[in-house]
Structure 1
Amino acid sequence: MAYTARSRRTTAVLAALSLGILALSACNGDAGKDTATTPSAAASASAAGTDKGADAPSAAGSDDGGSDGGNSSDSQGSTPPSQPASDDGQDGGVGMCETTDLSYNVTVASKPVNHALLKATNKGSGPCLLPANELVITIPELDGAAEHMGPDGKDWILKAGESAYAGIMFSRADTAGGKSADKVEIALTAAESPTTVAIDEGPVTVNDGQVTSFFGTAEDALTY
């Protein structure tokens, strides 16, 4: 009986040891699995980080695209501004001279022959832009206006009290006949109503009227 009890205890101890060994093996196996999976997880995390790092240059490239957009904006900024809608920038906003803005004097010239000098003075209190090439001279009771002669002038700002000059030729030396006139009609443009001005030292004989553009001096006006 004593032997039987001892055998049972030995068997129990061996069984317990076996269970302990099995449990220990199981634990070691789980630990091995954890250890085995850890590098894989780390590798996955590392790969994910590498992928994100590879995406970073693309994001930078996108930012560069935005920078290009900034350059485009700079190009627009360097675009020259639109042109003015009117010509006021050229004359500082000064209005055109009208026929009634000026006073006129027409005097027969000593030379050249058959010429008279027209002096037009700004009688207003401010400047105006003088149309140099649109002067219209007509003789009452004669058909048509005087033709243009000489070079074209340039419009300029005629200040208050300042004068401009034009030469009028009433007849050619080689043309006989004509009509007598002691006054002329003057308009700065064909669209305006003319004003009538007496001819100092007149009357004159008119058979082929011509007129120059406006000039800044009497000498220039009587050159043609």
Structure 2
Amino acid sequence: MAHTARSRRTTAALAALSLGILATLTACNGDAENDAAAPGTHASPSATPADESTDTPSSADPSDSGSGSGSGKSSDSPSTPSPSKPGSDDGQDGGVGMCETADLSYNVTVASRPVNHALLTASNKGSDPCLLSANDLVITIPGLDGAAEHMGPDGKDWILRPGQNAYAGIMFSRADTAGGKSADKMEVALAASEAPTTVPINDGPVTVNDGQVTSFFGTAEDALTY
């Protein structure tokens, strides 16, 4: 009898132990499921949609010309060409006619230096520009045969504007040439084909024995260099 009672108590103890273990396992599984269902404290934030950044317009949109200083936009307007210099002929006379002898006024004055020289000043007295032929000037002394020979370098034809002057140097006597003719006037023509105009020689008369003349220049200093 004593053995049977001990066996029953042992069986009851084992049964109780098994129930305790089962209850513990059930509780652990429940906690694990609760932990899995709860959000993690270190969860990463959701990512921004890939197309969200592409929908935002750029602040440097080149089509936005309504604000700012407008720098960076290239202009399609052609640059304005530089005008030709006054008193020069760039090969495009624009229909400007040739200067004729009657278009200009003339003044001849004996020069202090160099000796035996005079300065011819020709002025455009009209209201329109004209193209001055630099090398065709004809100077003659009444009573002497032939026109003055050319001296110095050739000049360049250029546009003489209203009121503008052109200058030529005249050598009327050589120191090594004896004799000559006294003259107080000379004849001036811009071309051999034109009728000359008579011009008095200021500070004359002068003794002319071998006349020479330069081309037209833009300054009196250049004209009296030769």
Which TM-score band (shorter chain)? 0.5 to 0.7
State the alpha-carbon separation in 2 of the partners of residues 89 and 157 from structure 1. 10
State the alpha-carbon separation in 2 of the partners of residues 199 and 185 from structure 1. 10
Give 2:136's aligned residue. 134
The structure carrying a bigger helix percent of its residues is 1
Deviations 1:98-150 (A, max 9, x none): 00000000000001000000000000001000000000000001100000000
Deviations 1:30-59 (A, max 9, x none): xxxxxxxxxxxxxxxxxxxxxxxxxxxxxx
Q: Please, what TM-score do these two structures have when normalized by structure 1?
A: 0.60
Letter of the structure 2 residue corresponding to residue 159 of structure 1? R
Letter of the structure 2 residue corresponding to residue 196 of structure 1? T
Q: Counterparts in 2 of 1:12-27, with a 5 A limit?
A: none
Letter of the structure 2 residue corresponding to residue 143 of structure 1? D
Q: Structure 1 residue aligned with 2:101, among 99, 109, 120?
A: 99
Give 1:220's aligned residue. 222
Unaligned segments of structure 1, at least 5 residues: 1-87
SS at 2:102 equivalent: helix
Quote how far apart the aligned CAs of 1:173 are. 1.1
Give 2:154's aligned residue. 152
SS at 1:180 equivalent: strand
State the alpha-carbon separation in 2 of the partners of residues 149 and 175 from structure 1. 17
Q: Please, what TM-score do these two structures have when normalized by structure 2?
A: 0.60
Q: What is the root-mean-square deviation in Å for CA atoms of aligned residues?
A: 1.5
State the alpha-carbon separation in 2 of the partners of residues 108 and 180 from structure 1. 14
Quote how far apart the aligned CAs of 1:92 are. 1.1
SS at 1:129 equivalent: strand
State the alpha-carbon separation in 1 of the partners of residues 178 and 140 from structure 2. 20
Letter of the structure 1 residue corresponding to residue 205 of structure 2? P
State the alpha-carbon separation in 2 of the partners of residues 180 and 101 from structure 1. 29
Letter of the structure 2 residue corresponding to residue 212 of structure 1? T
Deviations 1:146-175 (A, max 9, x none): 000000000000000000000000011111
User: Number of residue pairs matched?
Assistant: 138
State the alpha-carbon separation in 1 of the partners of residues 143 and 179 from structure 2. 16
Q: Structure 1 residue aligned with 2:189, among 179, 187, 190?
A: 187
State the alpha-carbon separation in 2 of the partners of residues 208 and 89 from structure 1. 35
Q: Counterparts in 2 of 1:1-224, with a 5 A limit?
A: 90-224=92-226
State the alpha-carbon separation in 1 of the partners of residues 166 and 175 from structure 2. 27
SS at 1:91 equivalent: coil
Quote how far apart the aligned CAs of 1:89 are. 6.5
SS at 2:98 equivalent: coil
SS at 2:92 equivalent: helix
Among all aligned residue pairs of Structure 1 and Structure 2, give the percentage whose two residues are the same amino acid. 85
State the alpha-carbon separation in 2 of the partners of residues 209 and 203 from structure 1. 14
